[in-house]
Structure 1
Amino acid sequence: MEIGVSTFVETSPDVQTGEVMSHAQRLREVVEEIVLADQVGLDVFGVGEHHRKDYAASSPVVLLAAAASQTKRIRLTSAVTVLSSADPVRVFQDFATLDGISNGRAEIMAGRGSFIESFPLFGYDLKDYDELFEEKLELLLKLRDSEKVTWKGGHRPAFTNLGVYPRPVQNPLPVWIGSGGNSESVIRAGLLGLPLVLAIIGGSPLQFAPLVQLYKKAATHAGHDVSKLPVASHSHGFVGENTELAADKFFPSTQATMNMLGKERGWGHYDRSSFDAARSFEGALYVGDPETVAQKIIHLRKNVGITRFFLHVPIGTMPHEEVMRAIELLGKEVAPRVRDEIARWEAENE
């Protein structure tokens, strides 16, 4: 069971002061967070791509590369790369470069993206949303699997027998599919034999168990060994010294962000009752003391089949020292509890 952290590198207004930190400051803070995650024994750190004023990481791979030379073992991944509006050749080159710098610790998490700002920015039409992703994923996998590639598609200039460099340390370079729970994307990942990441940010995580089974069924149908295909989840959360204190610290910025996004997307008002319901044992918020968070992750592993867990922290802007403390507790206290319990459980069920 792998445990890690993900971030969107938020620079939204501080809920207490209204101040907005610079993009540069937040980027430097995230490098410190990645270094700490490595030091406390976490397995993976993911950075999401966005192209908005309130998110600083339009180029996750550059941020991950800044941390690569300061870390030793933690895996470094996008979360996600918006492949639909990117050039797969450049994506492959960038992550192959990261793989070299980190000596084989880079991963690509490819997705359509839940935000659409990158489409007009890079000249793509939203009516091609699905077709863009399918075509570009096909090219990315060809680039991963062959040093020289011939390509012709509908959304990128063709090329013939060209080499793409540098080549990564890992062969093949890991490519995960990020999904918000769409059955078509889950089936596609299974048929292609690619690892799957599910964004579990609402409702009951147990509702995702049928999707994991659908993924495995598709993979089996295509002849892939499902025992070698990891399934990850990405969920919001925060670890504190005690559960109520953790909840009180995490709620204000979470509420501000959820209501800001809610205005854009037509969601209902997010209040403390919504928050508290989501942090219940069956909810999708992983907020509490180390034991509380560990037990929820163990529950997720046993009942949904998740083998890698991303704690997404923070939502919105929180004090850097509080985020660092949450990462420390996740690595030093939550992860060992989860790994020990899952190891015992798997041994009993062999």
Structure 2
Amino acid sequence: MELGINTFGDAIFDPQTGRTISHGERLSNLVEEIEMADKVGLDIFTVGEHHREDYAVTSPDVVLAAAASRTKNIRLSSGVTVLSSDDPVRVYERFSTLDGLSGGRAEIMAGRGSFIESFPLFGYDLNDYNELFDEKLDLLLTLQKGGRINWNSNMRASLQDVEIFPKPMQDEIPVWIASGGTPQSAARAAQIGLPLVLAIIGGSPFQFSRVVDFYRQIGAEAGHSGDQLKVGTNSHGFIWDTDQEAKDMFFPAISQSMTNIGRERGWGAYSRDNYERMIEPDGALYIGSPETVAAKIIELKKRMGIDRFTLQTPVGTMPHEQVLRTIELFGTKVAPIVREAVKEMEEK
């Protein structure tokens, strides 16, 4: 089971410091966070793409490339690449470049994204949302196979007998599909035989068990092996020495962020009561001491059989030293507990 960190590079008002971090400072801090994750032995670091003032990262591959020269082992992935509003050829070229710079550690997580700003920004019609994703994913997977490409399109220029450079170090750059948990997304990934990542940020993670079972069933019926049908989850969280400290430290930042987003989408303010409910054993937040967070991840593995878990931290903006320490605790305290438990499960 792989363990890692996900971030969107949040750059908003920090309730603890009373200041709003600049995009440049957040990007610099982010590279140090990836370096810390590598140092403490985590498996993967994923960086999201957004085109908004409250997030510093519009080009995950550039950030990951900056981290590639300062890390040795950790895999480097987008989390996600908004494929519908990008060009698959450029995506593949950029991640092939990252693959070379990192010595074969690049991955692509493709999704539609949870915001729509990139569509008008790059001249795409939201009415074409589904068709754009399906066609561009098909092209990306064609490019993944390598060699000379012949590919016809309704949405972009066709490709006739072309080859894409640079060549990656890996035989194929892994492509995961990111989903909010809809059966349609799970079925698409399963039929193609691609690994699936579920964003679980509310309710109970175990609500997604049916989606996972459906995905594996459809994938098996399509003739794909269990090794192909991997499942990952991504959830908000924070780790500190004690449960109470972790709860109290993380709430101001996540409350600020989720209330801001909620205001745009017509939700109510993010309440402490809701926050506390989500920290319970069956809730979607992974917040607490290393032992508490490890126990919650182990239960997720037992009940859903996931292959990868990423902790999204911070949500909102927190002091850089706190973010570095939660990553350190995840790698040095949480990961060993989880890995030992998974080893015991596999031996039974």
TM-score of the aligned structures, taking structure 1 as reference length: 0.98
Amino acid at match of 1:2: E
Output the CA distance in 1 between the equivalents of 2:27 and 2:288: 26
Does residue 230 (structure 1) correspond to residue 230 (structure 2)? The answer is yes
Deviations 1:34-69 (A, max 9, x none): 001000000000000000011010000000000001
Output the CA distance in 2 between the equivalents of 1:207 and 1:294: 20
What residue in structure 2 maps to residue 37 of structure 1?
37
- CA RMSD in angstroms comes to 0.9
Deviations 1:163-197 (A, max 9, x none): 11111111111000000001111011011111110
Deviations 1:110-131 (A, max 9, x none): 0000010100000000011111
Q: Among the aligned pairs, what percent are the same residue?
A: 56
What residue in structure 1 maps to residue 73 of structure 2?
73
Instruction: Please state whether the residue corresponding to 1:226 is helix, strand or coil.
Output: coil
Amino acid at match of 2:68: A
Output the CA distance in 1 between the equivalents of 2:225 and 2:17: 52
Instruction: Please state whether the residue corresponding to 2:327 is helix, strand or coil.
Output: helix
What residue in structure 1 maps to residue 97 of structure 2?
97
Amino acid at match of 2:23: H
Deviations 1:195-233 (A, max 9, x none): 110001110100111111111111111111024432110
Output the CA distance in 2 between the equivalents of 1:180 and 1:255: 21
Q: How does 1:160-179 map to 2 (within 5 A)?
A: 160-179=160-179
What residue in structure 2 maps to residue 324 of structure 1?
324
Output the CA distance in 1 between the equivalents of 2:272 and 2:152: 52
Output the CA distance in 1 between the equivalents of 2:307 and 2:16: 37
TM superposition shift of 1:13: 1.0
Amino acid at match of 2:290: P
Quickly say closer, same or farther: Cα 1:16–1:291, change in 2 above 3 A.
Answer: closer
What residue in structure 2 maps to residue 122 of structure 1?
122
What count of residue pairs does the alignment treat as equivalent? Answer: 348
Output the CA distance in 1 between the equivalents of 2:230 and 2:216: 10
TM superposition shift of 1:17: 4.8
Does residue 217 (structure 1) correspond to residue 237 (structure 2)? The answer is no
What residue in structure 2 maps to residue 53 of structure 1?
53
Worse-matched range after superposition: 227-236 or 336-345: 227-236
What residue in structure 2 maps to residue 199 of structure 1?
199
What residue in structure 2 maps to residue 9 of structure 1?
9
Does residue 304 (structure 1) correspond to residue 304 (structure 2)? The answer is yes
TM superposition shift of 1:159: 2.2
What residue in structure 2 maps to residue 341 of structure 1?
341
Deviations 1:303-347 (A, max 9, x none): 012110000000011000000000000000000000001110121
Instruction: Please state whether the residue corresponding to 1:107 is helix, strand or coil.
Output: strand
Worse-matched range after superposition: 267-276 or 323-332: 267-276
Note if contact 1:10-1:317 (Cα within 8 Å) is conserved in structure 2.
Answer: yes
TM-score of the aligned structures, taking structure 2 as reference length: 0.99
Quickly say closer, same or farther: Cα 1:215–1:327, change in 2 above 3 A.
Answer: same
Note if contact 2:149-2:162 (Cα within 8 Å) is conserved in structure 1.
Answer: yes
TM superposition shift of 1:97: 0.7
Amino acid at match of 1:31: V
Output the CA distance in 2 between the equivalents of 1:25 and 1:269: 28
Worse-matched range after superposition: 211-220 or 223-232: 223-232
Does residue 239 (structure 1) correspond to residue 239 (structure 2)? The answer is yes
Output the CA distance in 2 between the equivalents of 1:347 and 1:336: 17
Amino acid at match of 2:74: I
Unaligned runs of 5+ in 2: none
Output the CA distance in 1 between the equivalents of 2:315 and 2:199: 14
Output the CA distance in 2 between the equivalents of 1:86 and 1:147: 22
Amino acid at match of 2:160: T
Output the CA distance in 2 between the equivalents of 1:119 and 1:219: 31
Instruction: Please state whether the residue corresponding to 2:14 is helix, strand or coil.
Output: coil
Q: How does 1:264-303 map to 2 (within 5 A)?
A: 264-303=264-303
Instruction: Please state whether the residue corresponding to 2:315 is helix, strand or coil.
Output: coil
Output the CA distance in 1 between the equivalents of 2:229 and 2:339: 19
Note if contact 2:193-2:228 (Cα within 8 Å) is conserved in structure 1.
Answer: no
Output the CA distance in 2 between the equivalents of 1:298 and 1:126: 39
